[in-house]
Chains A and B, each alone.
Chain A
């Protein structure tokens, strides 16, 4: 019964010289939230806009949302753009928590990586 564990990974991608992408695959919760927080800190140290791509993820919980909201705040404070993409596929393990918490427009969450990168490259207005 318990053998069907999907591998969960967090990859920091530097393919694009103008932005950093952190890609989450599989299921993520309180166990992997510290690693995501470290990757966000790595990205912040680069001084580049950040996109967190949840498209390959199959589940996230409020621990992960907490890291994403913290990332949004810290990048905004640093004058850097931030966005999340969740893919166009209806993956209920990711989409549901974003809908219930009303965070889709807040983070914001965009349908694909290209749109998220385009959004993140626009530096936020100082608050």
Chain B
């Protein structure tokens, strides 16, 4: 981690706060001149991480989501942490009526981040740590384009 800025946020695990976290990530990524495609991936990844906290971490709603944005020389690490019960099934209050939960959050994060880790938090909780390069290489972009 360089001497560059480290941003820390703590918000209640509520659905309306996910956009707030997303905007903070966009601001940090754009300040680092990240490629637009990388910013889009960061937005998606942090949204999925916060959604997992909201759906799975807390038995009672509104526990904290901690977010850290750590600037690297050529990247950004996004840390999303909770102090809940871990990756438990979602409580009934959040179960969609048509059962549309896809379980895509973790696979999506793992697929789009350059580096992806999930850890338990001492005392209870889960920490997701995702690192993104600020530039999308031409090789990667071409491969992704041809795969679509």
A positions within 8 Å CB-CB of B: 1-2, 4-5, 27, 29-31, 33-34, 37, 59, 61-63, 65-67, 69-70, 74, 92-93, 95-97, 99-101, 104
Interface check B12, CB cutoff 8 A: no
Question: Would you give 24 A-B contacts (Cβ < 8 Å), ordered by A?
Answer: A1-B24, A2-B20, A2-B23, A2-B27, A5-B23, A29-B22, A30-B15, A30-B47, A34-B96, A59-B43, A61-B48, A65-B104, A66-B100, A66-B104, A67-B96, A70-B100, A92-B36, A92-B40, A92-B41, A95-B148, A96-B40, A96-B112, A97-B44, A100-B112
Give the residue of B27, B55, B99, B105 whose beta carbon is less than 8 angstroms from that of A70. B99
Q: Say whether A62 contacts B48, CB under 8 Å.
A: yes
Residues of A close to B111: CB separation below 8 A: 100
A80 → B minimal CB distance (Å)? 15
* Residue in contact with A30 in the complex, picked from B18, B27, B41, CB distance below 8 Å: B18
Contacts of B65 in A (CB 8 A): none
Specify the chain B residue showing the minimal Cβ separation from A1.
B27
Q: Does B2 sit within 8 A of A, measured CB to CB?
A: no
A-B residue pair count with CB separations less than 8 angstroms? 93
A99 touches B16 (CB 8 A): no
Say whether, besides A93-B43, A97-B108, A62 and B23 are in contact (CB < 8 Å).
no
Bound-complex Cα distance A101 to B112 (A): 11
**Residues of chain A lying within 8 A (CB to CB) of residue B102:** 62, 65-66, 69
Given A4-B23, A62-B48, A63-B51 in contact, is the A93-B96 Cβ separation under 8 Å?
no
Knowing A30-B54, A66-B102, A96-B41 are in contact, say whether A101-B108 is a contact too (CB < 8 A).
yes
- In Å, the complex CA distance between A69 and B100 comes to 7
| A99→B37 CA distance, assembly (Å) | 13
| Least CB separation from B145: chain A residue | A99
Interface pair A31/B105, CB less than 8 Å apart: no
Residue among A29, A65, A66 facing the most chain B CB atoms (10 A cut-off): A29
Knowing A37-B96, A37-B97, A99-B147 touch, does A30 contact B23 (C-beta < 8 A)? no
Contact check, B104 vs A92: say whether CB atoms are below 8 A apart. Answer: no
Task: Flag whether B19 is at the interface (Cβ < 8 A).
Answer: yes
Task: Give Cα distance in the complex from A5 to B19, angstroms.
Answer: 8
B130 to chain A, nearest CB (A): 14
- What residue of chain B has the Cβ atom nearest to residue A97's Cβ? B44
